[in-house]
Amino acid sequence: MAGGRSLLLAGVVVALAATAGAAWLHEIRPGSVAQPAAQTLNARAEKTQLPALTADEERFATALWAVHREATRSAVALSFAGITYQAEDRDARALARKIEPLVKFFHDAEMEVRAMSAPPSLSKTQVQYIDAMALYAGAAAEMLKFTEDGDSQRLGVAHGMDVRASEDMLRVGEVLWPGQYKPH
């Protein structure tokens, strides 16, 4: 037994020494991590700045921000509802209570953004945001259907829709509110 512990201790010491040696060699090697990091910062600094929004674009961005602020909160609530269900309570009725108002919110948000007047330069951005709201509404509806029929594949479908909607919202944000804090 004592020989086994000594052998284990020797193995741990050798593994630590090997790891420390590999790290040391990596750090002294020319062109280590510091150089690529500097290149990345320079590349970001050289990235062309987006032109300022026109007055019409700014009006649209401001109007959409009112929806976006709540849509972001609701998107997080949708994700957390699914996570809480999966990780903690497994209570389908509690999940349904959390999801029902979100289905309505995302549907209403889609209609509100659809009714906004976007300048021609932002028409694709508006469509992308409308699509994101529709995806979120669809994800919430799938989750709600899951609470009724128990088909767990619906949660996977909902998750996929949620991810695509989130990506669309981030892309719109890069156009209208560059530098905005991105929680995911």
Per-residue pLDDT tens digits for 121-178: 999 999 999 999 999 999 999 999 999 999 999 999 999 999 999 999 999 999 999 8
* Ramachandran angles phi, psi of 33, nearest 5°: -60, -30
Amino acid at 176: L
Alpha helices for 29-122 (secondary structure H): 34-46, 55-84, 92-115
The per-residue pLDDT for range 32-56, each reduced to its tens digit, is 455 555 555 555 555 557 788 999 9
Do 100 and 145 contact (CB within 8 A), yes or no?
Answer: no
- Domain 55-176 matching CATH 1.20.120: the answer reads yes
The per-residue pLDDT for range 9-18, each reduced to its tens digit, is 444 444 444 4
Pick from 145, 161, 162: which is nearest to 78 by CA?
A: 162
Specify the pTM.
0.72
Task: Give domain limits for the chain.
Answer: 55-176
Looking at residue 179, what is its pLDDT? Answer: 78
Give 116: exposed, middle or buried? Use CB within 10 Å, 0-12, 13-18, 19+: middle
Q: How far apart are CA 145 and CA 46, in angstroms?
A: 48
Is residue 71's pLDDT more than 60?
yes
Looking at residue 180, what is its pLDDT? Answer: 74
Do 121 and 57 contact (CB within 8 A), yes or no?
Answer: yes
Residue 113 CB: number of other CB atoms within 10 A?
Answer: 24
